[in-house]
Amino acid sequence: MPNPRHLRKSEKALKRLQRRASSKKKGSANRKKAINRLGRKHLKVSRQRKNFAIKTALCVVKSNDFIAYEDLQVKNMVTNHKLAKSISDAAWSQFAQWLQYLGKVYGKTVVAVAPQYTSQDCSNCGKTVKKSLSMRTHVCGCGATLDRDHNAALNILAKALRQAGIELNTAGHAGIYAWGQTDLCSLMVTSLSKPTD
């Protein structure tokens, strides 16, 4: 499975080819060649992205009964550079579409939740703990200390369960994962690398 780092590398190569093509003389055979090369790379990268989205979604849907994810507004987030990178790499909206579609095919529950407060609220007591994007750990006065993304994932899961009308104790079986806001790629990979039953 092509991983996001792999895609990042392809995107760099794409930029390089783009620069090379525009540096060639207009109408020249060399420019034509460079544009052709660029077009082929473009196709390859978009295929890689699509494959990554489908394979990841399929794996997630097959190995979980309940799937919760943040309904990220990609357009709003592209203004933020760090986020824009991981979102384009993970092909987030494509991934979400495949989750929904494959969820239907395999009869699994897939719930999208609004992203508000998922990273700021404490998953243990509900209190708001303001943090910037660079703060990777959630530390709350109630004693909860956990990874920022883990905290967000628990909030997303709780929201999704409420939305789906499922009581937490009845859904407390293994294999429930939710994803946090910032590093979608690494979160997906950590989730997938965990053993599932």
Residues lying near Zn ion in the complex (CB under 5 A): 122, 124-125, 127, 140, 142, 144
Q: Which two tokens stand for residue 106?
A: 């395999």
Cα–Cα nearest to 54, from 87, 99, 14, 10: 99
Most distant pair of Cα atoms in the chain: their distance: 68
Which H helix or E strand runs over 113? strand 109-113
CB closer to Zn ion out of 68 and 122: 122
Bridging pattern class, strands 177-178 and 66-70: parallel
Q: Show Cβ contacts of residue 51 under 8 Å, excluding neighbours closer than 6 positions.
A: 1, 2
Min separation Cβ 139 and Zn ion, Å: 9
Min separation Cβ 140 and Zn ion, Å: 3
Min separation Cβ 18 and Zn ion, Å: 47
Min separation Cβ 91 and Zn ion, Å: 34
CB closer to Zn ion out of 74 and 144: 144
Min separation Cβ 87 and Zn ion, Å: 28
Is residue 91 a contact partner of residue 49, using CB atoms and an 8 Å limit? Answer: yes
Q: Which residue is it, tokens 């992203």?
A: 115
CB closer to Zn ion out of 36 and 145: 145
CB closer to Zn ion out of 76 and 145: 145
Burial 37-58, CB ≥16 within 10 A → b, else e: ebeebeeebeebbeebbbebbe
CB closer to Zn ion out of 9 and 127: 127
Min separation Cβ 138 and Zn ion, Å: 8
Alpha carbons 21 and 42: distance in angstroms, whole number: 13
Q: Which two tokens stand for residue 158?
A: 């709780």
CB closer to Zn ion out of 114 and 125: 125
